């Protein structure tokens, strides 16, 4: 089965890193095939960006996303642009601190996560992307929690490891709480 994930926001939020971590988790720790593509605006920070990850048990013959099963949105612009492109029955996870007037089409599983706020409470808003990865682990079967956490551990600098682990677990706990 092919699963398509899109992480979308603006440069500087770690959107591309989140996609890389998810792809690594699927390929190296869940023994699936995964490919990631990315796009970002001309500005390194502040411009629109997204990372697309295709995960499959079978070889990935076409690396582009057709219609994501899972969409993680961390900016108003990304929500406006991508929220209507999700597969019917798909999952939409939105950072409520950065997106207003949140609504989803009928049949879409909508989850609202205060990722930026949780990250600030942990001491650094830069880990909001990892909070979202924790929420993804709780809210979507696309990648196992253990695989995602291991990929986070391999992907962050050692001096920020504890902060990122706490961010991931906080996002996971929040995600579990909203599905209970």
Tens digits of per-residue pLDDT, 83-139?
999 999 999 999 999 999 888 888 999 999 999 999 999 999 999 999 999 999 999
Tens digits of per-residue pLDDT, 6-63?
999 988 899 999 999 999 999 999 999 999 999 876 555 667 799 999 999 999 999 9
The domain in which residue 75 lies consists of 2-179
Q: For the chain, state the CA radius of gyration.
A: 15
> Which ranges of the chain does DSSP label H, i.e. alpha helix?
15-24, 76-82, 115-122, 128-139, 145-155, 161-179
Q: Are 73 and 91 in contact (CB under 8 A)?
A: no
Q: Could you tell me the CATH number of the domain that includes residue 130?
A: 3.40.920.10
Q: Are 37 and 51 in contact (CB under 8 A)?
A: yes
Sheet arrangement for strand 48-56: 33-40, 48-56, 2-10, 70-73, 91-95, 109-113
- Give the chain's domain count: 1
């Amino acid at each position: 089965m092919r699963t398509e994930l899109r992480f979308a926001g603006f440069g500087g939020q770690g959107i591309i890193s989140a996609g890389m971590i998810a792809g690594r988790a699927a390929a190296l720790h869940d023994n699936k095939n995964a490919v990631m593509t990315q796009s970002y605006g001309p500005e390194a920070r502040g411009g629109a960006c997204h990372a697309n990850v295709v995960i499959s048990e079978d070889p990935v013959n076409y690396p582009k996303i057709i219609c994501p099963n899972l969409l993680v949105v961390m900016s108003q612009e990304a929500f406006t642009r991508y929220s209507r492109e999700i597969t019917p029955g798909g999952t939409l996870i939105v950072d409520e601190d950065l997106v207003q007037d949140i609504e989803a089409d009928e049949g879409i599983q909508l989850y609202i996560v205060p990722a930026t706020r949780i990250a600030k409470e942990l001491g650094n808003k830069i880990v909001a992307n990892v909070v979202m990865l924790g929420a993804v682990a709780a809210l979507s079967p696309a990648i196992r929690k253990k695989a995602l956490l291991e990929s986070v551990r391999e992907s962050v600098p050692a001096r920020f490891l504890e902060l990122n682990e706490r961010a991931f677990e906080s996002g996971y706990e929040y995600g579990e709480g909203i599905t209970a």
